[in-house]
Amino acid sequence: MKLALLLLRLLPPEISHFIALNTLNFLYKLNLTDILFPYEDTSEPFNFKSLTFKNRLGIAAGLDKNGDFIDSLGSLGFGFIEVGTITPLAQQGNPKPRIFRFPGQGAIVNRLGFNNKGVDYLVKKIKLRNFSGILGINIGANKTSEGQKRINDYVECFKKVCPYADYIAVNISSPNTPNLRSLHQEENFLPLFEALNFARNEMKYHNPMFIKLSPDEDEKVISVILAAIKKFEFDGVIASNTTVTKDNLRYSGRHNLDGGLSGKPLLKKSNELLKIAHSHDSHLLKIGVGGVDSKESFDSKLDLGASLVQIYTSFIYHGPQIVKKLLR
């Protein structure tokens, strides 16, 4: 496994990502994932509303944007899987190169820009899944959408995925879609929350809704968002998305590193956001994500008030073995 991961790192990031996930899919179809990555889950289940998470570890949005790998990822022992971010129309995302690896620091910088095959493609894939665990769907807006059209994008995605989603995550915090983070401003997020709340009632959707937050906003901004989440009776937050701050990332400066930083250097900042969210509302469900690559960092999220934890970068660097390492 270590040799395979090392060989994959010799390839450009997006090519290695494609090969790794399609290889995992191939192994799953041959019924080999249980043999190659054996794991006996002794975790206590976590219950929230009508949902039962078999454990507290999940895969974050971004790894499987289009729902192509739900079953194979689900076979590795995750308690839940979040797919997306999905948009109404398919889009290519930002120009390449757009992913930069820093393996020595356990970090990745990406500026993918919501590249995905569109919500209708995702729904088709979800209908075909065998995975019976908890499935979250992360929704967003197309790059060219602004103002009311941007709100309409979220509502369209919500209505199309809600019949199949165990929970829905609303992504207002990606740094790679122009002006998306302006949705952290009250004059912008209130109309969005109102529209989603109306759609939720219209569709009679009773499963959880989470708002995915940026770690780059100050406590005052976060507190206003948390108050609105409580007002609209949404269920919780995902803390956090990637950060545009790269003060603790060591790099030569040869590359334009615009985009979001994930992995180990994000741990402190994402934990600070988690701590703020928990101090403002301890009853709000919180999913902690950012920098988790060890049992200690996993437990730090739970200690700060998270009920669930997600990984992304550490799965890319360590592969399926990370599940056993975090849940042992």
Q: Give the residue extent of every domain in the chain.
A: 2-327
The secondary structure of the chain in percent helix, strand, coil, rounded to multiples of 5, reads 40, 20, 40
211: β partners? 170, 237
Q: What CA–CA distance (Å, rounded) separates 202 from 196?
A: 10
Q: What CA–CA distance (Å, rounded) separates 77 from 92?
A: 31
Q: Which residue among the candidates 75, 173, 174, 270 is catalytic per the annotation?
A: 174
Q: What is the pLDDT of residue 259?
A: 87
What percentage of the chain exceeds 70 in pLDDT? 95
Number of helices (H) and strands (E) in the chain: give both, helices first. Answer: 12, 13
Preceding omega of 42 cis (within 30 degrees of 0): no
The average confidence (pLDDT) of the chain is 92
- The pLDDT tens digits of the residues spanning 218-250 come to 999 999 999 999 999 999 999 989 999 988 888
What percentage of the chain exceeds 90 in pLDDT? 80
Q: What CA–CA distance (Å, rounded) separates 287 from 273?
A: 11
- The pLDDT tens digits of the residues spanning 116-128 come to 999 999 999 999 9
pLDDT at 269 over 60: yes
Q: Which amino acid is at 98?
A: R
Confidence tier at 57 by pLDDT (50, 70, 90):
very high
Those residues whose C-beta lies under 8 Å from the C-beta of residue 230, and which sit 6 or more positions away, are 281, 284
Q: What is the pLDDT of residue 99?
A: 92
Q: Which fold has domain 2-327?
A: TIM Barrel (3.20.20)
The answer to whether residues 194 and 107 touch, using CB atoms and an 8 Å cutoff, is: no
Q: What CA–CA distance (Å, rounded) separates 188 from 181?
A: 10
The answer to whether residues 94 and 111 touch, using CB atoms and an 8 Å cutoff, is: yes
174 is catalytic: yes
Instruction: Enter the tokens of residue 287.
Output: 């999913």
**Pairing mode, strands 285-289 and 308-311:** parallel
Residue 245: closest CA among 219, 218, 223, 226: 218
Q: What is the pLDDT of residue 176?
A: 81
Q: What CA–CA distance (Å, rounded) separates 146 from 184?
A: 15
């020595």: which residue's tokens? Answer: 104
Instruction: Enter the tokens of residue 209.
Output: 């809704």
- The pLDDT tens digits of the residues spanning 26-38 come to 999 999 998 888 8
- The pLDDT tens digits of the residues spanning 130-155 come to 999 999 999 999 999 999 999 999 99
Q: Which amino acid is at 244?
A: V
For residues 144-169, average pLDDT: 97
Confidence tier at 17 by pLDDT (50, 70, 90):
confident
Is the pTM value of this prediction over 0.75? yes
pLDDT at 177 over 70: yes
The answer to whether residues 123 and 108 touch, using CB atoms and an 8 Å cutoff, is: no
Q: What is the pLDDT of residue 8?
A: 62
Q: What CA–CA distance (Å, rounded) separates 316 from 15?
A: 13
